[in-house]
Amino acid sequence: MSMAGEENRAEVRKRSETGTLLDARGLTKRFGDILANDLVDLAINKGEIHALLGENGAGKSTLVKMFYGSLEPDAGAINWQGERVTITSPAVARSLGIGMVFQHFSLFEALTVVENIALALEGAGDMKALAQRIEDVSTEYGLPLDPNAVVADLPVGIRQRIEIVRCLLQEPRLIIMDEPTSVLTPQEADKLFLTLQRLASEGCAVLYISHRLEEVQRICHHATILRHGKVVRECDPSKETPASLARMMVGTEVMGVSLGAHQASGGAVRLGISNLSAKPGTPFATELRSINLGVRAGEVIAIAGVAGNGQGELFDAISGEMPVGRDMIRLDDEACGHRGVNWRRRKNAAFVPEERLGHGAVPGMKLSENIVLTRHGTGDGLASGGFVSTAKAGEMEQRIKAKYDVRMSHDDPEARSLSGGNLQKFVVGRELDRKPGVLVVNQPTWGVDAGAAALIRQALIDLARSGSAVLVISQDLDEIFEIADRIAVISRGYLSEPEDARKMTRERIGLLMAGGAETTAGAA
């Protein structure tokens, strides 16, 4: 047992009036050269909502995977209700009473709710009885579900309910939740919090992973903070502020973003979208319905929305990966809905898609080659006479690396070897390096740690203030309020009219997300 654990344990004892449910001691997990978890001590009491905080790569996922049996610790011990256990597989975890709700859902879209749940339950037996149980349990916990609905027809918030109900049916004593609110509207999140509080009052413990410090502060009884694989602090989040929690996670003060002069109107419309409608390309895609928007020089417009409401389709229509009607998209007043992505890039537009690996960058190619990917047609001298200039690409790679602080273990590595935050700095930097007149970014800081996120957000604002039009599509409301001049909301393929960010509230965004966008869409 480690010495470092001693002082923490004193504090743990103080709050363990309800009895310890899970007690991990000295958990260590190594991946190659990286110590993902280094002598981690963590105690979860019965009936508490326990927050696990840390930046990306701090070791949160590794830790909970060891609790859920999908990873085995290299050293250390896990005690469950006072008895030492070895959790060799998720099945063992479930039999102990540990359930997990994943950030990325594992549901079959073509099956119904009850079929999906039956697949996960051992010996599900009679489907009718199971459907009845699903209805009972889900209503009881305030998360009503129609057992016979097909998953493909359900919005993301409901899909998450399925995962939670599936977990509840196994009568867990501890539920692990990984970023549960990232796909919910504020109102849906409120509902989830009520369910969690109800569960806690019944003695079920919740291990809650989130980047949203406000909600951690609001609902969690205790927090453990990881940095570089080690427990650095434990605290009572209700006695902290979001800023102090962020400081504990990052280890230093997080740089604030400065908005600079606010330029809400006056500039010329550089990116115009009028009556943009597009039928879905696949059965699970969202239809875009008569979208209107004008992004002016000098401003940042942010589009809020819950995942899967047409953000990806809108991005593809603006970038040119999905061709639409000629007059639906205008760049600097030139109609180009029918043009390809490189034509639009030559008109000084730049795009950063949501998915870094596999869309914004080719995983197995070097960074310099990934520069050629989006810039071979923009007259940077990367491709002349059909030949690619590796020297020029290498030069640009050096420049972008230095300017946007992209950290790497050796020079010009393959894109897949970079951490999420560093790769994001690279794919954003690659486009900013062109000083584009129009920049469209989908999820600019998705999964990026606080330091890198601040750098990227500041760069977006600076670009807008230098006379460009910036459109940000994001699911992170904190981010949207931090950088946007005007805010619009996308819901089921409808886009609301953008409104002044200073007058916008979370409640109003929540209402628009829940369908209000459809009624205000025509007004634009």
Taking the C-alpha atoms of residue 524 and residue 508, their distance in angstroms, rounded to an integer, is 17
Does residue number 283 form part of the binding site for other proteins (CB under 8 A)? no
CB of 376 vs other proteins, minimal distance in Å: 6
The length of the chain, given as a count of residues: 524
CA dist 217 and 185 (Å) reads 18
Examine residue 516 and tell whether it contacts other proteins (CB under 8 A): no
Q: Provide, rounded to whole angstroms, the least separation between the CB of residue 166 and other proteins.
A: 16
CB of 85 to other proteins, least distance (A): 5
- Considering only residues 172 to 211 of the shown chain, the ones binding other proteins according to CB under 8 A are 173
In the complex, minimum distance from the CB of residue 321 to other proteins, in angstroms, rounded to a whole number: 5
Which run of H or E residues covers position 101? strand 98-101
Other C-beta atoms closer than 10 Å to the C-beta of 466 total 12
**Choice from 9, 230, 416, 465 touching other proteins (CB under 8 A):** 416
Contact residue for other proteins among 68, 141, 351, 404 (CB under 8 A) = 351
39-98 residues near other proteins, rule: CB under 8 A: 72, 80-81, 83-86, 88, 92, 95-97
- Which lies closer to other proteins via its Cβ, residue 57 or residue 510? 57
What are residue 265's phi and psi, to 5 degrees?
A: -140, 180
How many residues of this chain interact with other proteins, rule: CB under 8 A?
47
CB 213, CB 246: distance < 8 Å: yes
| Options 186, 267, 363, 394; binder of other proteins; rule CB under 8 A | 363
Of 61, 116, 374, 424, which lies in the binding site for other proteins, with binding defined by CB under 8 A?
374
365 touches other proteins (CB under 8 A): yes
Query: Is 285 among the residues that bind other proteins (CB under 8 A)?
Result: no
Task: Give the one residue of 230, 247, 376, 465 binding other proteins; rule: CB under 8 A.
Answer: 376
Q: Which of 7, 126, 153, 171 binds other proteins (CB under 8 A)?
A: 171
Residue 46: C-alpha distances to residues 25, 50, 166, 325, 511 (Å): 17, 10, 21, 58, 35
Angle CA 40–43–44, to nearest 5: 135
Answer yes or no whether residue 417 interacts with other proteins by CB under 8 A: yes
Shorter beta-carbon distance to other proteins: residue 250 or 471: 471
Which listed residue (163, 240, 354, 369) binds other proteins by CB under 8 A? 369
Per-residue x/- marks for other proteins, 253-282, CB under 8 A?
Answer: ------------------------------
C-beta closer to other proteins: residue 363 or 467? 363
β 334-335/329-331 pair status:
antiparallel
- Taking the complex as a whole, how short is the minimal distance between the CB of residue 353 and other proteins, in angstroms? 6
Give the range of 111-119, 126-134, 149-157, 340-348 binding other proteins by CB under 8 A. Answer: 340-348
Site for other proteins in 418-457 (CB under 8 A): none
The DSSP-derived string for 19-75 is -EEEEEEEEEEEETTEEEEEEEEEEEETT-EEEEE--TTSSHHHHHHHHTTSS--SE
**Phi/psi-derived region of residue 307, left when phi > 0, alpha when psi is between -120 and 50, beta in every other case:** beta
Taking the complex as a whole, the smallest distance from the CB of residue 105 to other proteins amounts, in Å, to 21
CB count in 10 Å sphere of residue 52: 26
Query: Percentage helix, strand, coil, to 5, in the chain?
Result: 40, 25, 35
With contact defined as beta carbons under 8 Å apart, do 26 and 40 qualify? yes
State the chain's maximal CA–CA distance in angstroms: 75
Closest by CA position to 216, among listed 195, 244, 238 = 238
Q: Which positions touch other proteins (CB under 8 A)? A: 32, 72, 80-81, 83-86, 88, 92, 95-97, 171, 173, 319-321, 340-342, 345, 351, 353, 355, 358-365, 369, 372-374, 376-377, 383, 386-388, 413-414, 416-417
